Amino acid sequence: MIGVLVSGAAGRMGREVVRAVMAEPDLALVGVVDPAHAGETLGEGSGLVIAGDLATAIATTAPDVVVDFTHPSVVEGNIRTVLAAGVDCVVGTTGISQERLESLADTAPEGTCLFVAPNFAIGAVLMMRFAAEAARHLPHVEIIELHHDRKADAPSGTALRTASLIAASRPGVPDAPGKETEVAEGARGALVDDVTVHSVRLPGLVAHQEVIFGGQGQTLSIRHDSIDRTSFMPGVVLAIRSVGARSGLVVGLEHLMEASRG
């Protein structure tokens, strides 16, 4: 059995992770943390009381893995606490730079894994892979990411990752209309790794992204839609099962997907 503690357990993603962990026969939900809901009994049939302090909860429940879906403003502190206890950490919270992740992973004791995925949906990982492939041949590209209106960060972690994969694979940065054509500020979006990214925030959305390539007389659109937060759960469960055999910083579900295919 793999003992799992969920940090951010009362949130939209945290509640889904709790349900996913309880549904797997080889995973045991040993603890739940969410300071804003400390002392409340968690629903989802777990019967667990929500703890307010992560370090204390780790000390009392001795998890094998902590899963964090919280907020960009607290996630770094949480990761530091988990790694300091020598516990593997699976992070879905977005908004941490690669440099910060590397320096956090440096604090981990030997054999401890910090696994981070900007997107745990397998379809989104494939969308990023296909976008990187297309960018080799169609370098003119823009990203439109669409999320629910309570998302804390913009652009999304998925858009940042997609832009970085495109930048690494396309042969160069093509000339394209930039900010100089803007009549209203922001109309041309933000530049990430020289890729233009537009962020849409609306109620009713979950997590969506379209990558649009333009070429002579043609466009190619690669789109992924998470229409429900259960879309992320097979990836989260795969990460929980995989981190025990890993060490150090691993970023991206693609690394685990390939390994799980054998």
Site residues (vs ligand NAD, CB under 6 A): 7-8, 10-14, 33-36, 54, 69-72, 74, 78, 92-94, 117-120, 151-152, 207, 232
Using CB atoms within 10 Å of the CB of residue 236, give its burial: 0 to 12 exposed, 13 to 18 middle, 19+ buried: buried
Closest separation between CB of residue 195 and ligand NAD, Å? 20
Could you tell me which residues are beta bridge partners of residue 222?
211
Which residue out of 71, 140, 148, 151 is catalytically annotated? 151
**Whether residue 179 lies in the annotated active site:** no
Q: Looking at beta carbons, which residue is closest to ligand NAD? A: 11
3-state secondary structure of 152: coil
**Whether residue 198 lies in the annotated active site:** no
Closest separation between CB of residue 34 and ligand NAD, Å? 4
CA distance 233 to 178: 38
The smaller minimum CB distance to ligand NAD, of residues 13 and 20, is found at 13
> Which residues, including other chains, have CB under 8 Å from residue 104's CB and lie 6 or more apart?
76, 79, 80, 83, 96, 114, 249
3-state secondary structure of 54: helix
DSSP notation for 66-81: EEE---TTTHHHHHHH
3-state secondary structure of 232: helix
CA distance 181 to 251: 36
The smaller minimum CB distance to ligand NAD, of residues 11 and 155, is found at 11
Closest separation between CB of residue 208 and ligand NAD, Å? 12
> Which residues, including other chains, have CB under 8 Å from residue 111's CB and lie 6 or more apart?
86, 247
Closest separation between CB of residue 181 and ligand NAD, Å? 31
The smaller minimum CB distance to ligand NAD, of residues 12 and 179, is found at 12
Phi, psi of 260 (to 5 degrees): -75, -15
Closest separation between CB of residue 188 and ligand NAD, Å? 24
Catalytic residues: 147, 151
